[in-house]
Amino acid sequence: MSDKILIVDDDIDSLKLIGLMLQRHGYEVMAANAGNQALTKAMNEHPDLIILDVMMPDMDGYEVCRRLRANADTRSIPIIMFTAKTLVDDKVAGFEAGADDYLTKPTHPAELASRVKAMLARTASQRRQEPSKGLAIGFIGAKGGVGTTTLALNVAAALTLVGENPIVADFRLGSGSLGLSIGFGHSHGMANVLSKPVNDIRSSLIDGELVVHQSGLRALLSSARVKEAQLIYSAEAALAVVRSLKTMGRPAIFDLGSELNQTVSRLQREMDQVILVVEPNNVALAMAREALHELDANGSRRAHVVVVNRSSSNVQTPWHEIEQAIGQEIRAIISAAHDQLFQATKAAVPLVIYQPNAVVSSQIMKLSEDLNVRVKAGPSGEMLP
C-alpha cells in the first residue's frame, strides 16, 4: 500500500507540481490550501507524511505544526516544512514548532524526493523499534445474516485460548447480538462511549464500559435496543474508540456489521486486517464482489474473504467457483454447525471454548492463528515486537 502524503500550500501551482512529482514516485497524494483544511485532513486521513508551507492566509504553518503536535491522533506524523523563508531564525521557529525537516524554495525535485524517502524510511524504522501500538482486525459481512458476529466473537475467543489478550467490540448499535451470545444482552457500553465528546474518549473511559466473560475475553458491546440505533455520533468519535482499543487489546477485534456506510468506510482504513464474511450463494457472492470493489476503492488493505456455510446440505458450491464468482482467493471456509452453535449460545459461551474439539472450532482456531500472524507482520513481512 502506497504511503500517503498531505501537501499543504496556498499556492495552487506549487500543490500541482509537488503532487505530480510525488505521484510519479508512487506516493498517494492529498492536498490542502489552508491551515484549517490541513488540520481536518490530517485528522481524518492520517497521512504518513505532511509537507507544510509556512505562509498561508488563515493560519501560518508554524501554528498548524503546533496544533498537529498537540493532538494525540496527529502528533506522530512526520512534517517537512517547505517555505521561501531562508533566515536561520525561520528554520529555528519551524523546528521549535515541531517540524522534523525544513526545506527552502525553490528546491530541486530530486532533493525533495530524497528528503521524503529518507523521512518515511526513518519513521518506518522507528515504528519497528517501538513497542507495538496495537493491532486491529475488522469483520464486515457481505450482507446481513451471514455469521459475521459469530465469527468475530469466536476468533477473539480462540485468541484468548492461546494466551493473547484480545478485546472484541460490536459497532452495531441497536442490533448488537454479540452480547446476547455470551450472556451480556443488556450491555450498551459502546453507546455510552460514543455518546461522549471526542476528547473524552480514551482508554480510561472505555475500560469502565468493558464486560469480562468467564473465559477472560473482554468486550465492548452494543445492545439490541431500538433507541440505541438512533444515537448520532461522529466518525471522529468512532475513530477515537478504535484507536483507544488498539492500545488495549492484543489484538482488538471489531464487528463492523454489513453496511459500508461513511463511518465504516473510514474505520476499515484503521484496520490491520479486514475480513469479509460471505455465504456461498449467488446473492451473497454478488454482494461480496461489490463489497470487495468498495473496500479497495476506500483504500483498505486487501480484504480476506472467509466463507461461512450456513447450510448442512451436501450440495455445496465448490471452492474454485466461489473464487471465480468474487474474483479473489478465499482465506478459509467455515463449516455449518447449527446445533453446536445453538448449544454454545444457550450456555453463553463461545463455540471454540464450549466445544473445542469440534471440526468448526478447529477451523476457526486455524483462521485465528493465521490472522494473528499476518496482523503482526510488518509492511515487508518482518514480525513486529
3-state secondary structure of 235: helix
Q: What pLDDT is attached to residue 20?
A: 92
Q: What pLDDT is attached to residue 332?
A: 92
Kindly state the average pLDDT of the residues 114-131: 75
The segment with the largest mean pLDDT, out of 69-78, 105-114, 166-175, 279-288, is: 166-175
How far is 242 from 50, CA to CA, in rounded Å? Answer: 23
Length of the chain: 385
The architecture (CATH level 2) of 136-375 comes to 3-Layer(aba) Sandwich (3.40)
Indicate if the pLDDT at residue 375 is higher than 60. Answer: no
* Residue percentage of the chain with pLDDT more than 90: 56
Q: What pLDDT is attached to residue 48?
A: 92
pLDDT in tens, 51-106: 999 888 888 999 999 999 888 778 889 999 887 766 666 678 888 888 888 888 77
Instruction: Spell out where the chain has E strands.
Output: 4-8, 28-32, 49-53, 79-83, 101-104, 136-141, 167-170, 211-212, 218-220, 252-255, 273-278, 304-308, 330-334
Q: What pLDDT is attached to residue 103?
A: 86
C-alpha cell at 301: 488493505
* Residue percentage of the chain with pLDDT more than 70: 89
Q: pTM (2 decimals)?
A: 0.66
- Mean of all residue pLDDT scores within the chain: 87
3-state secondary structure of 248: helix
Q: What pLDDT is attached to residue 370?
A: 84
Predicted confidence band of residue 212 (pLDDT cuts 50, 70, 90): very high
Indicate if the pLDDT at residue 373 is higher than 70. Answer: no
Phi and psi at residue 281, in whole multiples of 5°? -130, 165
Q: Which of 129-138, 175-184, 233-242, 349-358 has the lowest mean pLDDT?
A: 129-138
Which of 84, 100, 103 is CA-nearest to residue 49?
100
Question: Residues 294, 302: contact at Cβ < 8 Å?
Answer: no
End-to-end distance of the chain based on CA atoms, in angstroms? 21
Q: What pLDDT is attached to residue 43?
A: 85
Domain with CATH 3.40.50.300 in the chain: 136-375
- Reply yes or no on domain 4-129 having CATH 3.40.50.2300: yes
Q: What pLDDT is attached to residue 209?
A: 96
Q: Which of 124-133, 184-193, 255-264, 278-287 has the lowest mean pLDDT?
A: 124-133
Predicted confidence band of residue 357 (pLDDT cuts 50, 70, 90): very high
Which of 283, 336, 273, 282 is CA-nearest to residue 305?
273
C-alpha cell at 202: 480514551
pLDDT in tens, 27-46: 999 999 999 999 999 988 88
Kindly state the average pLDDT of the residues 175-199: 93
DSSP state of 356: T
